[in-house]
Structure 1
Amino acid sequence: MVGRVFSVLDAFSTSRRTLRLAEIADSAGLPRPTAMRIIRQLVEHGALVRHGMEYEVGPRMWHLGLLAAVQSDLRDVAAPFLNDLHAATRATVHLAVREGDGALYLDRLAGSTSVPVVSRVGETLPMHCTGVGKILLAYAPDDVRRRVLDRLSRQTAHTLTNRSVLTAQLDEARRRGFATTSEEMTLGACSVAVPVLAGGAAVAALGVVVPRLGRDTARFVTAMTVAARGVGRMLEREALMRNSSP
Structure 2
Amino acid sequence: MGGAAPSGVLSKALAVLQAFSVEDNTLGFAELQRRTGLPKGTLHRTLGDLVAARLLDRVQGRYRLSSLVFELGMRASVERGLLEVATPFMEDLYVRTHELVHLGIREGAEVVYVAKMGGHQQVDSPSRLGGRMPLHSTALGKVLLAHAPADVRESVLRRPLERRAPRTITNVDVLTRQLSDIAAKGVAFEYEESAVGIVCVASGIFGPSDEIVGAVSVTGPVHRFRPTRHANSIRAAAGGITATLGRREELLRH
The residue correspondences of 1:85-104 to structure 2 (distance < 5 A) are 85-104=93-112
Cα 1:46–1:232 change in 2 (3 A) is same
Q: Which residue of 2 aligns with 1:198?
A: 207
Change in CA separation of 1:49 and 1:180 when aligned onto 2, cut-off 3 Å: farther
Give unpaired runs (5+ residues) of structure 2.
1-8
Equivalent of 1:186, from 195, 198, 213? 195
RMSD over aligned CA atoms reads: 2.6
Sort the Cα spacing of 1:60 and 1:125 in 2 relative to 1 into closer, same or farther, 3 A.
farther
- CA drift of 1:231 comes to 0.8
Q: Deviations over 1:147-193 (max 9, x none)?
A: 43425333222222333332332222222211122222222211111
Q: Specify the alignment match of 2:185 in structure 1.
A: 176
Aligned to 1:220: 230
The 1:146–1:17 alpha-carbon spacing in structure 2 relative to 1, beyond 3 Å, is farther
Mapped partners of 1:219, 1:20: distance in 2: 47
* Aligned sequence identity (%): 35
Structure 1 residues 65 and 185, CA gap change in structure 2 (3 angstroms): same
1:138 matched residue in structure 2: 146
Q: Which TM-score applies when normalising by structure 1?
A: 0.85
d(CA) in 2 for partners of 1:19 and 1:143? 37
What's the CA shift for 1:22? 4.5
Match 2:218 to one of 197, 204, 208: 208
The answer on whether the counterparts of 1:190 and 1:212 sit within 8 Å (CA) in structure 2 is yes
SS at match of 1:143: helix
What is the match of residue 173 of structure 2? 164
Of residues 21, 34, 38 in structure 2, which corresponds to 1:30?
38
Question: Which residue, out of 41, 60, 68, partners 1:60?
Answer: 68
Alignment correspondent of 2:3: none
What's the counterpart of residue 126 of structure 1? 134
Whole-angstrom distance in 1 between the partners of 2:160 and 2:37:
23
Q: Distance in 1 between matches of 2:151 and 2:44?
A: 37
| Change over 3 Å in CA distance of 1:21–1:165 after alignment to 2 | farther
Q: Report the Cα distance in structure 2 between the residues aligned to 1:125 and 1:43, rounded to whole angstroms.
A: 31
3-state SS of paired residue (1:128): helix
- Structure 2 distance, partners of 1:227, 1:19, is 39
Whole-Å separation in 1 of the counterparts to 2:131 and 2:84: 18
Specify the alignment match of 1:80 in structure 2: 88
CA distance in 1, matches of 2:77, 2:145: 22
Return the letter of the residue paired with 2:194: M
2-structure distance, mates of 1:32, 1:148: 39
Amino acid at match of 2:170: T
1:184 is aligned with what amino acid? E
Shift in Å at residue 136 of structure 1?
0.9
Question: Does the 8 Å CA contact 2:100/2:122 hold for their aligned counterparts?
Answer: no
Which AA in structure 2 matches 1:86?
Y
TM-superposition CA deviations, 1:18-64 (whole Å, max 9, x none)? 44444434443533432332223223444334455654433332222
CA–CA separation in structure 2 for the residues paired with 1:131 and 1:32: 44
1:240 is matched with which residue: 234, 242, 250?
250
Q: Which one has a bigger Cα radius of gyration?
A: 2
Which residue of structure 1 aligns with residue 162 of structure 2?
Answer: 153
Output the amino acid matched with 1:210: G
Task: Give 2:6's aligned residue.
Answer: none
Contact 1:182 1:213 in 2 (8 A): no
Unpaired runs of 5+ residues, structure 1, are none
